[in-house]
Amino acid sequence: MGLAKRIIPCLDVDNGRVVKGVQFLDIRDAGDPVEVAKRYDEQGADEITFLDITASHQGRETTIHTVEAIAEQVFIPLTVGGGIRSIEDIRNMLNAGADKVSINSAAVYNPEFVKEAAAKFGSQCIVVAIDAKKVSVEGEENRWEIFTHGGRKPTGIDAIEWAQRMTSFGAGEILLTSMDKDGVKTGFDIELTRAISDAVNVPVIASGGVGNLQHLADGVTEGKADAVLAASIFHFGEHTVQEAKEHMQKQGIEVRL
Amino acid sequence: MSSKICAVIDYGMGNLHSASKALQYVSHDTQIMVTADPDLIAKADHVVLPGVGAMRDCMAEIKRLGVDQVVAEVAKSKPLLGICVGMQAMLTHSEENSGVDCLDIFDGQVKFFGHPLMETEGSQAGEKLKVPHMGWNRVTQSPHPLWQGIENDSRFYFVHSFYVEAQRAEQIKGRGHYGKDFVAAIGEDNIFAVQFHPEKSHTAGLQLLKNFLEWDGQA
């Protein structure tokens, strides 16, 4: 009896609508984010992650209002990511009702930003999102590198070293996305997840690649993830969060039901 | 008759929106005030002491703003709820930031979970545990009016790296386990404090907040 492994539905939001691209193409509309968040809350989601993929400044105003509306009706932790680049961005999101913010490329461009953010707001609300891609070839020892720009731009930074550096800078949690697996529905990159989870002492959320309920369970049992994140298997009614938890519990994983 | 007032003490540490929104959600006719003003807090029927962040900073702000005196006054009579670091601040001493003296409302210590923290019980025995303790864990209740309508061993949402060890067993109102046993809820008379975040703990947490706003402070 102890801490439950968390299931975190992720809302990719563009201009106030939930969307989910398959490898950044084929964007399908999945609805109003407030309605979607409420639905997941009712299904027993342990947290909700809201990733703002809106490019325009005007769209970002919409995001703040959406976060406010969710926070008024959903009483589980809410993480907001996408375009968090300054202390002011963090403050705006926390004031709107987010409990944590997820910092991605801004950490790559300026690692000190993570230090500053954690010192200012506390590690408990600073999530560092890591987009990693395998760069080792067959036969070599596994090596993953940090990529930016939706997986298009390599940085030369080793993913494991980066995760350790970010936690030493005050990240309270790591949101780990495999850019090889994201959107392809063949399961998490288990080796990557396990390598990062073993290397750091803060919780790791596995992301990228979930196509069925077993993938979620594998992320925990094989990947040693503390939480698993998925979007599309929940958005289009394929599965509910409740079903996912029941499936995991059958395999001996402790969940909150 | 005017509506009741619940003051959420604002001493500049972290995000009070979640707590005030959740309190408002469970009681539409209660006026929720986020404030550090001693006069306003003195007028409130119920008082919440929240808190996130590091203990040294929290205690420094509590003292700078005179919140320690306000809390001491409130603690004499009004229903008072401590949340997370707000609970830890009510103990005697915390070992965070090389040691900080706290408000000493409850006898006990705030200790670090430790690196490495290992699970000692059950099927996960011997496994390395992450710190902070983050997520949904069970709370085993001891009888108290604030647990009304909440099933024993319900899960609540926790985020903390330090935990409370209470001196007096009769004050422990909820127990949790993460590598080691820790105090999840502590209380005496009109004061109740929880390590978890009721405002983020879905139905069980909302029920606890509702119970608090309806509580007359009689344990």
| A141-169 pLDDT tens trace | 999 999 988 788 899 999 999 999 999 99
Q: How far is A131 from chain B (nearest CA, A)?
A: 21
From the candidates B84, B102, B133, B160, which is the catalytic residue?
B84
Q: Is A25 helix (H, G, I), strand (E, B) or coil?
A: strand
Interface contact flag, B134 A172, Cβ < 8 Å:
yes
Whether A250 shows a pLDDT value over 80: the answer reads yes
**Residue B15 pLDDT exceeds 80:** no
Q: What's the pTM?
A: 0.94
Q: Where are the alpha helices (DSSP H) in chain A?
A: 33-43, 57-73, 87-96, 105-109, 112-121, 159-168, 190-199, 213-221, 232-235, 241-250
- Given a cut of 70, whether residue B144 has pLDDT beyond it is yes
The 10 Å Cβ neighbour count of residue A61 is 13
B56 part of contact set with chain A, CB < 8 Å: no
Among A97, A122, A226, the residue with its CB nearest the CB of B21 is A97
pLDDT at site A25: 43
State the average pLDDT over residues A165-187: 95
Q: What pLDDT does B97 receive?
A: 87
Residues of chain A with C-beta less than 8 angstroms from the C-beta of B124: 2
Nearest chain A residue to B18 by CA: give it. A97
Nearest 5 degrees, angle CA A33-CA A39-CA A42?
Answer: 140
B-chain CB neighbours of A124 within 8 Å are: 52, 132, 134, 159-160
ipTM: 0.92
Active site residue B84: yes
What percentage of chain A has pLDDT greater than the value 90? 75
Mean pLDDT (whole number) for A123-135: 95
- Give me the mean pLDDT over the A111-121 stretch: 93
Contacts of B64 (CB under 8 A, 6+ apart): none
Q: pLDDT at residue A23 above 50?
A: no
Residue B132 to residue A172, Cβ atoms within 8 A: yes
Question: Which residue reads 């529905």 in tokens?
Answer: A185
How close A101 comes to chain B (CA, Å)? Answer: 12
Tell whether B130 is within 8 A of chain A (Cβ): yes
The percent of residues above 90 in pLDDT, for chain B, comes to 80
Helices A57-73 and A33-43 cross at an angle (nearest 10°) of 30
Q: Is B168 on the interface with A (CB under 8 A)?
A: no
Catalytic positions of A, please? 12, 131
